[in-house]
Amino acid sequence: MTLGGPFTAPPIPGSSPFSSVTPITPSQRYRGWLSEIVKPLEEFIDEPIDPRDYYLDLTEVAEGESGSVYAARISDNANLARLSKLPPLIKARDVEGQANGEAMLVAIKTVPILPSGSAKLDELRKELNMIRGIMHGNILGMHALYVDSVEDSLWIRMELMERSLADVVVLCEEGLVLQERVIARFTHDTLEALQFLRTHNIAHRDIRSDNLLLNSQGILKLTDFSNAVKVSPNSPIVHDTVGILYWQAPEVRAGPYNALKIDIWSVGATVWELAQAAPPFADSTDPPTDRWPKLNKPEIFSPAFHEFLRLCSEPALSRPDAQELLKNSFVNNTCGRPVVRQLLQQCTAVEKLVSQRQELEEEDEQATLMIS
């Protein structure tokens, strides 16, 4: 897929921002099948906007099952006043940045639109409905949704993040070290997000290192609400099996279960993973139903760390919630944001060294082949 560079579509009658006529509908703006497929998302789409006029120089930074994620630059000449779907605070920041001549970068996730429709679009609609109105400093939300009629895809604008905790864990195998206070910082941010969701009776149900992202300021944000569910506080019991085994609370496999309890187990599994550079139960197809595997070097972690892990693995009935765990001494012994920013710089440095080593190994292999 080739994306990038501004594309200006032919003018559509009645679509001028200076026109006094009623705004056109998706069926008028998009051809045949495309208008029908995107219609269920109509309330979320910033319809008058051609995203190629506003977001330039797209560079792929990640690829997933539902689509690719690109870093994009907001056009210096973009008429930001027309971006009607942007949250007010985000829009104000864009306007200020443009006025100051700043190079503003965002993330654009592209989701292909097929004539036959897609389960991914259904999941997206569910996710958008779930997080509608959810704004929190530790939750990665969607800023805006556009239709790219050039390549028949949805463009989802979000904050540009640096990397996931899963990316960080991989680098631990290359010598990167995560101190306990850094792990506590990540844990605190995650619990803040979960406590906020709890006030809205939302269970995320897929807490794991892949879904915990860091931005350039060292702030962790929770993403991917495709498995999230909104429940009644008086009736939080659900039956469907979700999540990935390594981070999955044992009661999910037994079912039915309290949806508002399982995220805490998953937080514990993620903390264990950060400490060991691998998820718990990675070598088991039948994980135990009560406790974590033994840590390789338990003596290097504080008693508070061990107590936190124990609390996360308590049976569902006695397992504490995020609000209770935010009072835990391990969670409150965190490093500052500058330390996380320094860690991100270390990640980049380690990746560079790994890349250089791989290049040298490839050169050696080629030289060996030539000699033989």
pLDDT tens sequence across 54-94: 999 999 998 877 789 999 999 998 899 899 889 999 999 99
Which amino acid is it at 243? G
Q: State the Cα angle at 259 between 258 and 262, rounded to 5°.
A: 90
Cβ neighbours of residue 356 closer than 8 Å, sequence gap 6 or more: none
Rounded to whole angstroms, the Cα distance separating 263 from 292 reads 15
Q: What is the dihedral of CA 137, 225, 248, 309, to 10 degrees?
A: 10
Please give the pLDDT value at position 275.
97
Cβ neighbours of residue 210 closer than 8 Å, sequence gap 6 or more: 164, 165, 166, 224
Please give the pLDDT value at position 211.
96
User: 203: closest CA among 57, 321, 123, 359?
Assistant: 321
* CB distance 85 to 100 below 8 Å: no
* Helix, strand, or coil (residue 147): strand
**Residue 2 predicted with pLDDT over 80:** no
User: 291: closest CA among 278, 275, 272?
Assistant: 272
* Per-residue pLDDT band at 15 (split at 50, 70, 90): very low
* Per-residue pLDDT band at 133 (split at 50, 70, 90): confident
**In percent, how much of the chain has pLDDT > 70?**
91
User: 135: closest CA among 207, 10, 211, 221?
Assistant: 221
* CB distance 159 to 93 below 8 Å: no
DSSP 39: G
Please give the pLDDT value at position 372.
65
Can you list the domains of the chain with their CATH numbers?
26-158 (3.30.200.20), 163-325 (1.10.510.10)
Rounded to whole angstroms, the Cα distance separating 25 from 3 reads 25
Q: Is the peptide bond before 303 cis (omega within 30 degrees of 0)?
A: no
**Residue 179 predicted with pLDDT over 60:** yes
Least confidently predicted of 26-35, 114-123, 232-241: 26-35
Which amino acid is it at 185? R
DSSP 45: B
User: 176: closest CA among 306, 274, 272, 267?
Assistant: 274
pLDDT in tens, 181-210: 999 999 999 999 999 999 999 999 999 999
Please give the pLDDT value at position 34.
81
Rounded to whole angstroms, the Cα distance separating 8 from 29 reads 14
